């Protein structure tokens, strides 16, 4: 589920007969629960809204979910090598790096 840029993972607790979830990709903990899909979705929205209001009350910036952007610094020579490798693969640097990182993760 997605709401205001936050992504949640929901699981079933068969013993309790309920659904529970957690917001992914942030250091803060946002959890919620419900008995139906509609209820757990509404509780997810409520929990995110409560979190954002709580951050405003504390005067703190809310933790933002991952956006798919990585700031990356390297040497001039490595940058040149990456550019050449991407060009050889007929890809943009971003596409080439994403492909290489995906292979490294699997």
What are the 10-residue block averages of pLDDT along the chain, 106 residues in total? 94 94 94 96 98 96 84 94 96 94 95
Would residue 19 count as lying in a domain? yes
Q: Quick one: 45 and 80 in the same domain?
A: no
Instruction: Specify burial of residue 61 (Cβ count, 10 A radius: 0-12, 13-18, 19+).
Output: exposed
User: How many domains does the chain fold into?
Assistant: 2
Q: How many CB atoms lie within 10 A of CB 2?
A: 9
Give CA–CA dist 72/70, Å, rounded.
Answer: 6
Helix axis angle for 76-88 and 93-105, nearest 10°, is 90
Q: Rounded to two decimals, what is the model's pTM?
A: 0.64
Query: How far separated are the first and last CA of the chain, in Å rounded?
Result: 25
Residue range of the domain that includes 83: 76-105
Q: Quick one: 86 and 49 in the same domain?
A: no
Q: Quick one: 83 and 47 in the same domain?
A: no
Would residue 96 count as lying in a domain? yes
Token pair of 13 as six digits: 């607790």
Q: What pLDDT is recorded for position 67? A: 72
Would residue 69 count as lying in a domain? no
């Amino acid at each position: 589920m997605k709401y205001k840029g936050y992504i949640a993972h929901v699981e079933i607790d068969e013993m309790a007969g309920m659904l529970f979830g957690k917001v992914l990709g942030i250091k803060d903990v946002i959890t919620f629960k419900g008995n139906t899909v509609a209820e757990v979705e509404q509780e997810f929205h409520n929990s995110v809204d409560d979190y954002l209001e709580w951050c405003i009350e504390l005067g703190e910036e809310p933790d933002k979910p991952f956006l798919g952007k990585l700031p990356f610094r390297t040497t001039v020579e490595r940058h040149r090598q990456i550019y050449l490798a991407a060009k050889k693969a007929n890809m943009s640097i971003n596409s080439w790096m994403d492909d290489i990182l995906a292979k490294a993760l699997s």
